[in-house]
């Protein structure tokens, strides 16, 4: 099944007789991952988009999403529509913003937008009508989705500064250099390896393992996420996805 959020040609699935005079609720997600650029040593932020197969905006790329079911929480709708359209099940999923401008779609649609992080090993490729794009160089998207991605990128850059979400883009075990590369590609600037090491070690968010990543030069110690660490991240909403 291939769907994108916002205004398909039909009424919301599973409801009876709701006409064009009601506001419908859609759920979409901006999914971030990191991708090594072929032939270079650069890493870029990439997001999956879904090609629309019906009007409005048929043929354009759009954020994955779909309609909110009547018996489904918002978080659940985000997870479900994501799985249905892209086959992905992100390790990190958080609500971003509710977009509801009257003219953002031909019919009235309020989109609850989520943003998600996904690890390279979780990526499912070769899904029909799904393609991955460089987040910094997107084509014109359907609806107001370009602006939504911009806002999600802003939130990602912001949050990476005071939270430990960057771990959500890596596998279970990773080296400090790999973690640093995540920060560098999101923030768009180089970080001092020595200072980065100390900051992240003192933050208590990492647990050193006794395993090492070998293969290149001197082996680098592998670390994993410290689940015990305070997140103080989303306040009273808490929630783990």
Give the binding site for DNA (CB under 7 A): 175-177, 192-195, 197-199, 212, 214-221
10 Å CB burial of residue 95 (0-12, 13-18, 19+) is: middle
Cα 90 versus chain centre, distance: 7
Number of helical H runs and strand E runs in the chain: 4, 10
Question: Which partner from the list DNA, a copy of itself, none does 63 bind, CB cut-off 5 to 8 Å by kind?
Answer: none
CB of 135 to DNA, least distance (A): 25
The contact mask relative to a copy of itself for 68-97 (x = CB under 8 A, - = no) is x-xxxxx--------------------x-x
Closest CA to 23 of 120, 128, 105: 105
Residue 198 has which token pair? 């100390």
Shorter beta-carbon distance to DNA: residue 217 or 240: 217
User: Please, what is the minimum distance in Å from the beta carbon of residue 123 to a copy of itself?
Assistant: 27
The tokens for 89 are 């099940």
Alpha-carbon gap, residue 107 to 237, rounded angstroms: 32
Task: Decide whether 122 or 173 has the Cβ nearer to DNA.
Answer: 173
What is the smallest separation between the CB atom of 234 and DNA, expressed in angstroms? 22
d(CA 157, CA 28): 20
Minimum separation from the CB atom of position 122 to DNA (A): 23
Nearer of residues 63 and 112 to a copy of itself, judged by Cβ: 112
- Render the burial of 121-140: b for 16+ CB within 10 Å, e for the rest: eebeeeeebbeebebeeeee
Q: Which partner, a copy of itself, DNA, none, binds residue 98 by CB below 5 to 8 Å per kind?
A: a copy of itself
3-state secondary structure of 112: strand
Whole-number Å distance between alpha carbons of 186 and 188: 5
Interaction partner, residue 221 (DNA, a copy of itself, none; CB < 5-8 Å by kind):
DNA
Which positions touch a copy of itself (CB under 8 A)? 12, 15-19, 21-25, 68, 70-74, 95, 97-102, 108, 110, 112, 147, 150-151, 154-155, 158, 235-237
């Amino acid at each position: 099944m291939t769907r994108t959020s916002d205004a398909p040609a039909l009424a919301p699935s599973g409801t009876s007789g709701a006409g064009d005079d009601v506001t419908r609720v859609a759920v979409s997600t901006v999914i971030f991952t990191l991708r090594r650029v072929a032939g270079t040593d650069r890493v870029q932020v990439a997001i999956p988009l879904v090609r629309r197969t019906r009007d409005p905006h048929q043929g354009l790329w759009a954020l994955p999403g779909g309609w909110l079911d009547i018996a489904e929480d918002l978080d659940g709708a985000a997870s479900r529509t994501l799985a249905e359209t892209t086959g992905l099940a992100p390790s990190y999923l958080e609500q971003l913003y509710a977009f509801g401008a009257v003219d953002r779609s031909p019919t009235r649609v309020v989109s609850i937008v989520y943003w998600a992080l996904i690890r390279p090993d979780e990526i499912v490729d070769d899904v029909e009508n799904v393609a991955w794009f460089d987040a910094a160089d997107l084509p014109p998207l359907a609806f107001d989705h370009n602006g939504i991605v911009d806002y999600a990128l802003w939130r990602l850059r912001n949050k990476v500064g005071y939270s430990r979400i960057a771990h959500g883009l890596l596998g279970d075990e990773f080296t400090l250099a790999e973690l640093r590369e995540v920060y560098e590609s999101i923030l768009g600037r180089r970080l001092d390896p020595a200072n980065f090491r100390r900051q992240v070690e003192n933050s208590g968010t990492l647990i050193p393992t006794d395993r090492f990543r070998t293969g290149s030069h001197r082996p680098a110690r592998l670390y994993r996420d410290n689940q015990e660490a305070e997140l103080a991240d989303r306040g009273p909403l808490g929630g783990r996805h």
